[in-house]
């Protein structure tokens, strides 16, 4: 007696991976850097991450409901928490709770769902969220804790700062090394003088440790084939290509390429932010150029722009150009000469 079977398409194998697995790996790779950040900046970061995640998931659920899409597959794909964590890492640890709310609303609603949801965002959602709050609420975002030991807020003060509106606008707040650099370069000091200043020394060293932590996570992501090597290499090349000539021209007034690579969010951007697959380039050479563009623009914005860190703007600008890069830098097909 002939038997009937249900059909299915090739390949007839269990799936190798899933979006959830990919996002989970990204979150795991962020852990070393988060740990180091918590050590330097206090547990406030964890509070920001939690707030951002909550708001992100709420925004996502609301938008899915409004658009008539099923909730479970999209909420469990972990893409919103990844954007939330990356966004929270850019915030000062005691930023008010509504910063996270507005940022995540912009990221999930504006940058993600209004463009079509998962897989359709043209711009990096975390960076859109960050840029919105950065431009709208510059003061709240420029208050970083001093990195001197013992300067972290006690938990009670932290909660008050985040939820109670009691921002510590006193001497404990301090600008980041990049901020200090810009400001004091603007005042005409040379790098040597700035470096020897109190605000700088320990901060820069700790920054290097942070960069190392991001690097570890990023290398693991490379090994897991979650990200492509062309993006971080491109970012490094871009940074060096712009920073090196400037530094060689006048090392008194321009920071070295190494400084650019290890300070701020460069390594974080190279491995976690610029590698956001949906808004980045989709071809190998496109990714290289995309990364190089991010690195170059970042250095230029840091040096000549009005904001201390250029990563967010650099990434958004390159997001706009990415489709064009793909069109120009189409890879060669097997059996064709070009």
Partner 1 sequence: MIEAVLALSGLGVLLGALLGWAAVRFRREDAPLVDAIDRILPQTQCAQCGFPGCRPYAEAIARGAADINQCPPGGEAGIQALAALLGREAKPLDATHGSEQPARVAWIDEEVCIGCTKCIQACPVDAIIGAPKLMHTVLIDACTGCDLCVAPCPVDCIYMLPASSGIAVWRAPRPAAARLQNITFLRVP
Partner 2 sequence: MSSSIALHGFHGGLRLPGHKIAASAASSRACPLPPTLILPLGQYGGSLAQVLVAPGDRVRRGQLVARADGLAANVHAPAAGSIVAIEPRPVPHICGLPASCIVLAVDTDADTDDRAICFPPMVEWQQADAQSLLERIADAGIVGLGGAAFPTATKLGYPIELLVINGAECEPWIACDQMLLRERAQEVCTGARIMRQIVGATRVVLAIEDRMQDAAEAVRAALDSSTDIELVEVPTIFPQGGERQLIRVLTGKEVPSGGYPVDIGVLCHNVGTAAAVYRAIVRGEPLLERYVSVTGHGVLAAGTWRVTIGTPVEWLIAQAGGYSGDAARVVLGGSMTGTAIATDAVPIVKASNCVLVLTTDQLRDPAPELPCIRCGECARVCPAQLLPQQLHWFIRAADWDAVESHALIDCIECGLCAQVCPSHIPLVDWYRHGKTELHLRADAQQRADAARKRFEARTLRLAQAQAERTERLAARQAVDEESPASDPIAAAVQRAAARKRSEGGPEHGA
Paired with 174 in beta bridges are 144
Residue 206 dihedral angles phi and psi, to the nearest 5°: -65, -35
Name the helix (H) or strand (E) containing 144: strand 144-145
Cβ contact 95:162 at 8 Å: yes
Those residues with Cβ within 8 angstroms of residue 175's Cβ, 6 or more apart along the chain or in another chain = 142, 144, 183, 199, 308
Task: Give me the least distance between CB of 325 and partner 2, in Å please.
Answer: 13
- Binding part of the chain for partner 1, among 87-95, 161-169, 260-268, 320-328 by CB under 8 A, reads 320-328
Q: Find which of partner 1, partner 2, none residue 323 binds, CB within 5 to 8 Å per kind.
A: partner 1
Neighbouring C-beta atoms of residue 20, cutoff 10 Å = 13
Task: Give me the least distance between CB of 89 and partner 2, in Å please.
Answer: 21
Site string for partner 1, 62-81 (x = CB under 8 A): -------xx--xx-------
Task: Give me the least distance between CB of 20 and partner 1, in Å please.
Answer: 14
Neighbouring C-beta atoms of residue 299, cutoff 10 Å = 27
Neighbouring C-beta atoms of residue 121, cutoff 10 Å = 24
- The smaller minimum CB distance to partner 2, of residues 64 and 213, is found at 64
Cβ contact 109:128 at 8 Å: no
- The smaller minimum CB distance to partner 1, of residues 41 and 123, is found at 123
Which residues within the stretch 61-100 sit at the binding site for partner 2 (CB under 8 A)?
70, 73-74, 77, 79
Name the helix (H) or strand (E) containing 25: helix 19-41
DSSP letter at 145 equals E
Site string for partner 2, 299-338 (x = CB under 8 A): ---------------------------x---xxxxxxx--
Q: Find which of partner 2, partner 1, none residue 188 binds, CB within 5 to 8 Å per kind.
A: none
- The smaller minimum CB distance to partner 1, of residues 236 and 325, is found at 325
Residue of 42, 81, 280, 293 interacting with partner 2 (CB under 8 A): 280
Cβ contact 288:245 at 8 Å: no
For residues 143 and 285, what is the distance between their CA atoms, to the nearest angstrom?
Answer: 39
DSSP letter at 173 equals E
Site string for partner 1, 3-22 (x = CB under 8 A): ------x-------------
For residues 69 and 55, what is the distance between their CA atoms, to the nearest angstrom?
Answer: 19
- Binding part of the chain for partner 2, among 1-9, 140-148, 246-254, 303-311 by CB under 8 A, reads 1-9
Cβ contact 235:292 at 8 Å: yes
- The smaller minimum CB distance to partner 2, of residues 249 and 334, is found at 334
Number of residues that bind partner 2 (CB under 8 A): 48
- Binding part of the chain for partner 1, among 29-37, 132-140, 195-203, 323-331 by CB under 8 A, reads 323-331
Which residues within the stretch 191-250 sit at the binding site for partner 2 (CB under 8 A)?
225-226, 228
Task: Give me the least distance between CB of 118 and partner 1, in Å please.
Answer: 9
For residues 169 and 147, what is the distance between their CA atoms, to the nearest angstrom?
Answer: 16
Site string for partner 1, 112-151 (x = CB under 8 A): ----xx--x-------------------------------
Residue 131: is it exposed, middle or buried by C-beta count within 10 angstroms (0-12/13-18/19+)?
A: buried
Q: Is 228 left (phi over 0), alpha (psi -120 to 50) or beta?
A: beta
Which parts of this chain interact with partner 2 (CB under 8 A)? 2-19, 21-22, 70, 73-74, 77, 79, 116-120, 225-226, 228, 277-278, 280, 282-284, 287, 326, 330-336
Judged by the rule CB under 8 A, the positions of this chain that interact with partner 1 are 9, 69-70, 73-74, 116-117, 120, 323-324, 326-327
């Amino acid at each position: 007696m002939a038997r009937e079977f249900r059909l299915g398409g090739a390949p007839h194998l269990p799936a190798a991976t899933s979006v959830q697995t990919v996002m989970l790996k990204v979150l795991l790779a962020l852990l070393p850097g988060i740990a180091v950040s918590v050590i330097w900046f206090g547990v406030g970061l964890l509070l920001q991450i939690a707030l951002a995640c909550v708001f992100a998931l709420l925004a996502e659920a609301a938008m899915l409901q409004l658009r008539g899409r099923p909730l479970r597959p999209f909420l469990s794909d972990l893409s919103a928490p990844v954007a939330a964590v990356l966004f929270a890492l850019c915030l000062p640890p005691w930023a008010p709770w509504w910063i996270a709310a507005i940022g995540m609303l912009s990221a999930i609603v504006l940058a993600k769902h209004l463009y079509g949801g998962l897989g359709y965002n043209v711009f990096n959602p975390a960076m859109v969220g960050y840029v919105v709050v950065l431009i709208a609420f510059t003061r709240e975002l420029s208050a970083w804790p001093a990195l001197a030991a013992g300067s972290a807020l006690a938990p009670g003060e932290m909660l008050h700062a985040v939820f109670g509106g009691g921002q510590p606008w006193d001497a404990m707040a301090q600008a980041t090394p990049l901020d200090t650099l810009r400001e004091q370069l603007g005042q005409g000091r040379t790098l040597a003088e700035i470096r020897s200043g109190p605000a700088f020394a320990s901060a820069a060293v700790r920054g290097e440790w942070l960069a190392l932590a991001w690097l570890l996570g990023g290398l693991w992501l490379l090994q897991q084939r979650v990200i492509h090597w062309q993006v971080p290499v491109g970012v490094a090349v871009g940074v060096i290509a712009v920073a090196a000539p400037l530094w060689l021209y006048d090392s008194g007034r321009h920071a070295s390429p190494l400084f650019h690579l290890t300070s701020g969010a460069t390594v974080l951007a190279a491995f976690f932010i610029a590698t956001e697959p949906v808004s980045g380039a989709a071809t190998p050479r496109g990714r290289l150029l995309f990364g190089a563009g991010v690195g170059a623009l970042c250095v230029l914005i840091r040096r000549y722009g009005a904001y201390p860190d250029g990563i967010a703007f650099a990434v958004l600008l390159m997001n706009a150009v990415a489709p064009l890069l793909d069109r120009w830098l189409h890879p060669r097909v097997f059996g064709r000469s070009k």
